[in-house]
Amino acid sequence: MESLTWALNEAVTIGFGIIFLLYCFFYKLRRNGRKLKLPPGPRPWPLIGSLHLLGNLPHQALTRLANKYGSIMFLRLGSVPTVVVSSPAMAKEFLKTHDLVFATRPICAQGKYVCYDHKDVAYAPYGAYWRHMRKLLMVELLTVKRIDSFRFVREEEVSAMIASIWQESGHGAQCVDVKKRLSSLTQNITCRIFSSRTYSDNELSGGLGFKQMIDEMFAVAGAFCVGDFIPSLDCLDLQGIRRRMQAVQKIFDGFAEKIIDEHIHRRLEERKGKEGDRVKDMVDVMLDMAETEGHTISRVNIKATILDMLAAGVETSSTTVEWAMSELLRNPATLARAQKEIESAVGRDRQVKESDVMSFDYLRCVVKETFRLHPPFPLLIPHESMEGCNVGGYFVPPKTRLFVNVWAMGRDETVWKDAQQFKPERFMGCNKDVRGQDFDLLPFGTGRRGCPGISMGISVVELALAQLIHCFDWSVEGEVDVAEEFGLTVPRKNPLLVRPSWRLTVEYPI
């Protein structure tokens, strides 16, 4: 009996102790809640939070919400605390002043099921692995010297695109879909840079051609995945996104394995003296590093890097050139000025070379203005806070997702005069650039997680656009719309169908 009484007393004591600790915990939590002021934002709904407010074009919906709640805004997307910033000043606070705090990426379906469980550079969490792979890109793969070594690839493929447009149009008799030609261009350039050759649809297994594989990768990468925001629903895969990601990743993995095996075989043949010298592509460079003592580059690292190059090199550049063409066709005087600048430097008796582009000041302003109105990643790739911090007078909790709405910043009337109008001349005589130093123009991000392939992307965009408007005059039926479609990037919703007319004095391309 005494032991039972003792046990009951102990249980009561422990119970009161637990109640007291819980009271202290919730009391402290309430006090902190009063002290730690979150940014303003809409009141969340149960379970889904504010997901219902995003719509089909989240960057536009978040811009409208920012007009109501301010340039720093707090939302709950499902169970995920999220901060959205929509002004250059706030972007600078998060991406420069507190760059290290927000240097990691959130765990997401794209990183897990497509990007080799976050082994690529774009989606890898911040840490030793990411620093190692980022250094590989910056020091070995994307140096100025190496990018310049592939100049001949860019020039050959852009000239091939011009010829294909002319042939597809029946020598100017019918319209062509510019996006299809631009997508083929950027795919061919990217593949030749990392693998020294292009790929056709019959070289892949799994029921998809090469172009279909790329399209499906972009489709699932840009898809909204409910499980990223409501983890309890992730296992159900209600949208089928996870199954699609796993299926296309399997096809891509076979493709990447094929590339690596081809390179290993070719390198063996070269060492036997059966093949001559050639320009090393980027897979060659990574295999060299894998063989060098002290470097830990695995096949998964190489495959993840190939994936990053395809994702960053194909869709972003082709989408940007298509938007530039759309805006130029909507603004004939701007197009005429850009053509006149190129013609005065090059004439009409030859096509543009990449070395000519640096003298095209106005054309490069056209590209900057396109990035302002149509950034490839309107919300950038999301960041995540590694610890709590105070920004702009508000507390941002740890594990908070960060979206930087560069689309809204580019259209802010308080930052840009006539912000909704396409005016490349606003950049003439101005040092403002897109490489991450000017926080009102951040198409490639900035800081630790800024895009490492900026120079490569810009060189493709500028050369392709220069060739398109120098070689052809263009006509379009009706008005050119600017409706958007949300995905990995934000391309045009409707195809840009235009008819070319050869304007050079040299012979038509064969």
CA distance 146 to 342: 27
pLDDT of residue 218: 84
Q: Does residue 126 carry a pLDDT above 80?
A: yes
Average pLDDT, integer, range 424-429: 96
Helices (H), ranges, 272-396: 282-291, 299-310, 316-330, 332-346, 361-373
Q: Is the pLDDT of residue 1 over 50?
A: no
For residue 409, pLDDT beyond 80 = yes
332-372: pLDDT as tens digits: 999 999 999 999 999 999 999 999 999 999 999 999 999 99
14: pLDDT strictly greater than 60: no
* Average model confidence (pLDDT) across the chain: 89
Give dist(CA 347, CA 340) in Å, integer: 9
Q: What is the pLDDT of residue 290?
A: 86
Q: How confident is the model at residue 67, as a pLDDT?
A: 96
pLDDT at res. 223: 81
Burial 175-185 (b: 16+ CB within 10 A, else e): bbebbbbbbbb
pLDDT at 26 exceeding the cut of 50 = no
Residue 27 has a pLDDT of 45
Strand partners, 73: 84
Please compute the mean of the pLDDT values over residues 54-59 and round it to a whole number.
Answer: 94
pLDDT tens-digit readout, 469-505? 999 999 998 899 999 998 888 999 999 999 999 999 9
The conformation of residue 329, written as its DSSP 8-state character, comes to H
Phi and psi dihedrals of 93, rounded to 5?
A: -60, -45
- Residues forming a β-bridge with 473: 501
Per-residue pLDDT tens digits for 274-302:
665 677 899 999 998 888 756 678 999 99
Residues 6+ apart with CB under 8 A from 41: 50, 65, 69, 73, 74, 75
Mean pLDDT of the region 236-257:
91
- Report, as an integer, the average pLDDT of 69-81: 97
Q: What is the mean pLDDT of residues 385-413?
A: 97
What does the pLDDT read at residue 292? 78
pLDDT for 140 equals: 87
pLDDT at 274 (0 to 100): 61
Confidence of residue 13 (pLDDT cuts 50, 70, 90): low
- Spans of all domains in the chain: 1-35, 44-502
Going by DSSP bridges, is the β-strand pair 80-85/401-404 parallel, antiparallel, or unpaired?
A: parallel
pLDDT-derived band of residue 22, with 50, 70 and 90 as boundaries?
A: very low
User: Which residue stretches of 352-453 are H helix?
Assistant: 361-373, 406-410
3-state SS assignment for residue 268: helix
- Residue 221's contacts (CB-CB under 8 Å, 6 or more residues apart) are 110, 114, 311, 487, 488
Mean pLDDT of 66-91: 97
Q: At what angle do helices 151-168 and 178-195 cross, to 10 degrees?
A: 150
pLDDT for 436 equals: 92
CATH of segment(s) 44-502? 1.10.630.10
pTM reported for the whole predicted model: 0.90
> Residue type for 436, please?
G
- Of the listed ranges 8-12, 126-130, 207-211, 268-272, the one predicted with least confidence: 8-12
151-202: pLDDT as tens digits? 999 999 999 999 999 999 999 999 999 999 999 999 999 999 999 999 887 7
Which of 235-239, 248-252, 432-436 shows the lowest per-residue confidence on average (mean pLDDT)? 235-239
Is residue 389 pLDDT above 90, yes or no? yes
